[in-house]
């Protein structure tokens, strides 16, 4: 059987993305809403209810006020972006007329499956369906989409203003038109595209997680302090932050869930969560968001 030809960038079927619906007004969803609006898209941000989405919209507008006047956020850009984001009353309203939809919920398989089952019954057949998961295999979510083909992984990196790449994940049999439309959205969002196949953790999360878990094991052995361990990677290898600080920024509870999921799916020892990670999470030391993880985040700015 001949492989389906990839549509060219100028193919009329590869429509220019205009309206993006986002489910999940958390860190990723809110950041994407602001940036997509900055890039000229009409954005609809949905949550579990209108109140949650409305609060997220208020936070986004306050954040836009704080960046007003920066080189990348001039006055007119802030005003235009703020006017392009709305918080509909529910998921059905958010999806109505949207040509792209991205699910940006936490890395919880049950939560995501429940959401995709709802989306399956509401989304127009022509809506491009994307998930922001960084670790769950697409095949586990695709099964919830009766009548829809071509669910695509659209793994973005934070902060969006600096991390100009997206890990675009496709499954065998995914229509090339869907992949081409996802790439068109990435270009609109000023992202470089890295296309990878579907497996637990994809490529980026596997690499980053393996390094982070190994750093935890080295720390656990008592060989080096967390600050010095991170300094070795920052000043020795040029990483923007060290693996323990990165883990704290992501959230140790999320790192633990992802590690457990990949280890369960693959059995690879590199992804077995070390005891120190489990202990910190059990004690409520989740990283930056709780004030304490491998590092101390109780002061403003960088960890101490």
Q: Where residue 235 sits, what CATH number does that domain have?
A: 1.10.1040.50
pTM of the model: 0.87
Single out the residue in 130, 164, 197 at which a domain terminates. Answer: 197
Is 9 domain-assigned?
A: no
Looking at 174, 197, 220, the residue that finishes a domain is 197
End residue of a domain, out of 170, 197, 224? 197
Same domain, 190 and 210: no
Tell whether 257 is covered by a domain.
yes
Residues 54 and 118 in one domain: yes
- Considering the domain architecture, whether residues 273 and 161 belong to the same structural domain is answered as no
3 state SS of 56: helix
Same domain, 215 and 193: no
Q: Are residues 30 and 77 in the same domain?
A: yes
Q: Could you tell me if residue 73 is inside a domain?
A: yes
In a domain, 4, yes or no: no
What is the rounded distance in angstroms from the CA atom of residue 209 to the CA atom of residue 153?
Answer: 18
* pLDDT reported for residue 302: 59
How far is the C-alpha of 270 from the C-alpha of 134, rounded, in Å? 17
Q: Let me know whether 78 and 170 are in one domain.
A: yes
187 lies in some domain: yes
The Cα angle at residue 135 between residues 196 and 118, in degrees rounded to 5? 105
One domain for residues 152 and 102: yes
The answer on 80 and 191 residing in a single domain is yes
User: Is 213 in the same domain as 278?
Assistant: yes
Query: Is residue 133 domain-shared with residue 275, that is, in the same domain?
Result: no
Structural domain boundaries, residue 76: 19-197
92: CATH: 3.40.50.720
61 and 33 within one domain:
yes
Shared domain for 49 and 107, answered yes or no, is yes
**What length does the chain have?**
304
pLDDT at 15: 79
pLDDT at 74: 85
Task: Report the DSSP beta bridge partners of residue 44.
Answer: 21, 86
Is position 23 within any domain?
A: yes
pLDDT for 71 equals 81
Q: Is residue 263 situated within a structural domain?
A: yes
Total domains in the fold of the chain: 2
Count of other CB atoms within 10 angstroms of residue 195? 15
Q: What are 53's two structure tokens? A: 């989405």
Contact between 297 and 291 (Cβ < 8 Å): yes
8 located within any domain: no
Sequential pLDDT tens for the chain (304 residues): 344 445 554 565 677 899 999 999 998 999 999 999 999 999 999 998 889 999 999 999 998 988 888 887 888 889 999 999 999 989 999 999 999 999 999 989 999 999 999 999 899 989 999 999 998 999 889 888 876 778 999 999 988 888 999 999 998 888 999 999 999 999 999 999 999 999 989 999 999 999 999 999 999 999 999 999 999 999 999 998 999 999 999 899 999 999 999 999 899 999 999 999 999 999 999 999 999 999 999 975 556 5
At 1 the pLDDT is 37
* The pLDDT of residue 158: 85
How many angstroms separate the first and last alpha carbons of the chain? 59
Largest CA distance in the chain: 60
């Amino acid at each position: 059987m001949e492989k389906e030809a990839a549509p060219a960038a100028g193919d009329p079927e590869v429509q220019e993305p205009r309206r993006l619906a986002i489910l999940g007004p958390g860190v990723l969803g809110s950041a994407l809403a602001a940036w997509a609006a900055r890039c000229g898209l009409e954005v609809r941000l949905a949550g579990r209810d209108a109140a949650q989405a409305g609060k997220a919209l208020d936070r986004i507008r306050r954040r836009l006020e704080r960046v007003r006047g920066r080189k990348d956020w001039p006055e007119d850009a802030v005003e235009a972006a703020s006017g392009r984001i709305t918080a509909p009353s529910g998921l059905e309203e958010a999806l109505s007329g949207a040509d792209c939809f991205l699910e940006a919920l936490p890395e919880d398989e049950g939560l995501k499956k429940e959401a995709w089952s709802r989306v399956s019954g509401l989304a127009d057949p022509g809506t491009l369906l994307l998930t922001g998961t960084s670790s769950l295999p697409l095949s586990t979510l695709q099964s919830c989409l009766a009548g829809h083909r071509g669910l695509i992984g659209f793994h973005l990196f934070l902060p969006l203003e600096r991390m100009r790449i997206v890990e675009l994940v496709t499954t065998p049999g995914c229509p090339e038109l869907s992949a081409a439309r996802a790439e068109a959205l990435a270009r609109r969002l000023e992202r470089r595209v890295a296309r990878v196949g579907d497996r637990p953790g994809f490529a980026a999360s596997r690499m980053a997680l393996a390094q982070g878990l190994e750093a935890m094991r080295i720390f656990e052995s008592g060989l080096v302090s967390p600050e010095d361990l991170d300094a070795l990677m920052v000043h020795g290898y040029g990483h923007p932050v060290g693996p323990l600080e990165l883990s704290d920024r992501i959230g140790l509870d999320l790192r633990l869930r992802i590690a457990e999921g990949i280890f369960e799916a693959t059995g690879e020892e590199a992804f077995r969560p070390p005891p120190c990670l489990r202990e910190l999470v059990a004690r409520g030391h989740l990283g930056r968001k709780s004030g304490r993880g491998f590092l101390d985040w109780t002061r403003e700015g960088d960890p101490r």
